Structure 1
């Protein structure tokens, strides 16, 4: 049985057993799954050893590890709900679209977004991925990475150009990130979408080994008039409040020093 097929079987078994709170025997699982006893028993034994299943009176039930993961998922959802008031406050202060995301290698994953009617249509949506090198959120987070990790992630990457302003090489990216570190905030000058400008600050330590960032997006006419210092000040304040809430939801022990 291949690793992918085994992983799929594990998830199918968990979903099946979850429907039967009183548990299922090995024979019942094999019958419902259409699987041979030998390979099924191996999977069930491994899942029991890892506490994903528990075996009582020859019946398999959902184990404590699934409960723990469910609690973690619940806290993650709670955190997303906690982020939104801060994004709404930030949007009310600026009349712009606000966003929060995390870094995943060379991508930004957008977790939450508040769209303001006075802002501009921004292509990002909650759950969407965008290339970090082409966004203010991404550059804010990339600026915190150690040089060796940055080079490992980008040395062989083909930089996709979305507009004439998109960063196109590792050397250009390194130069931009130096500017971000000096200013302590990142900007997007029509680098992903024509006519859209953004400012972002990182929110380091949203959880151990996870870097987050918060941003404001605006059209060109607002960009020319906006008080950038005030925007950055509000971004940092909202980021600090989000980090405080993250510590509440995840617990202080989840954070790196």
Structure 2
């Protein structure tokens, strides 16, 4: 039996089945790579006979596969089927929408949700600031990645070879005096973003416009999108952007948790989460 917190903070008792919890732990452990029975039982604190029985049950239903030559265990193809079914019915905008409203209510500036497509960022959802002077944008708009807060937030968590391919195809064109235009500058900026978990656009694509953004990290620690809060430089002071950054990091952490970032295998292909029109 597991104790959890209810909506009002009261402790509630939740009935759980120990064998199911252990099976889930095995699947999550195998997300890191293949494992022998001894390694798995030791790392998870399970008796070998218990671990073996659970592995055999999972293997029977193709959630686990045992390699013939080595005897090691790895995830089976049925796990991919479950992930595919989730992604088929996952609407990122539906998940993110209440968080966009939360950010707007808290900071009063225009908020966006973007994804990356063919090396550019695409705006797929937004809520406009109620203030008369605000960022002008539209859903479906495409912008370069290297000079936008959302674009840099996504680039920072892509494999380096993919970033190189995007830069080779799209280049690093200048839009303002603050635009990053060299590979060395971009690499330094992406390293800073990975270190801080948040990206800034300080009038890099348009004079007078500032933005704070953070990536949404999905399964396999792959960036599936980004959220930004944008506004005129006159209101987006360094202090305000710092406050927004704190809010954004908490928001994307929760969204990332919901879409599966809690599992961290060594590598994962790009998983396209649907954006329904």
- TM (norm. structure 2) is 0.57
C-alpha separation between the residues in 1 aligned to 2:88 and 2:153?
A: 28
RMSD of equivalent CA atoms: 3.4
Residue among 96, 110, 114 paired with 2:127: 114
- Structure 1's 120 and 241: CA in aligned 2 closer, same or farther, altered over 3 A? farther
1:53 corresponding residue in structure 2: none
SS at structure 2 position matched to 1:226: helix
Residue among 90, 99, 110 paired with 1:86: 99
Give the Å deviation of 1:193: 1.6
Is the contact between residue 100 and residue 127 of structure 2 (CA under 8 Å) also seen in structure 1?
yes
1:192 aligns with 2:231: no
C-alpha separation between the residues in 2 aligned to 1:110 and 1:207?
A: 23
2:115 corresponding residue in structure 1: 102
Give the Å deviation of 1:206: 6.8
1:75 aligns with 2:112: no
Is the contact between residue 155 and residue 170 of structure 1 (CA under 8 Å) also seen in structure 2?
no
| Alignment coverage as a number of residue pairs | 186
1:232 aligns with 2:232: no
Which stretch has the larger CA shift, 220-229 or 101-110?
220-229
C-alpha separation between the residues in 2 aligned to 1:118 and 1:206?
A: 37
- TM (norm. structure 1) is 0.61
> Structure 1, unaligned stretches of length 5 or more?
1-70
Is the contact between residue 97 and residue 120 of structure 1 (CA under 8 Å) also seen in structure 2?
no
Max Rg structure: 1
Give the Å deviation of 1:72: 8.0
SS at structure 2 position matched to 1:141: helix
Post-superposition Cα deviations, 1:28-54, rounded to whole Å, max 9, x if no partner, equal: xxxxxxxxxxxxxxxxxxxxxxxxxxx
Residue among 160, 166, 174 paired with 1:161: 174
1:183 corresponding residue in structure 2: 196
C-alpha separation between the residues in 2 aligned to 1:203 and 1:145?
A: 12
Residue among 234, 242, 247 paired with 2:255: 242
Is the contact between residue 83 and residue 112 of structure 1 (CA under 8 Å) also seen in structure 2?
no
> Structure 2, unaligned stretches of length 5 or more?
1-84, 270-277
C-alpha separation between the residues in 1 aligned to 2:197 and 2:206?
A: 23
Give the Å deviation of 1:156: 5.2
Q: Aligned ranges for residues 9-48 of structure 1 at < 5 Å?
A: none
C-alpha separation between the residues in 1 aligned to 2:162 and 2:92?
A: 28
1:221 corresponding residue in structure 2: 234
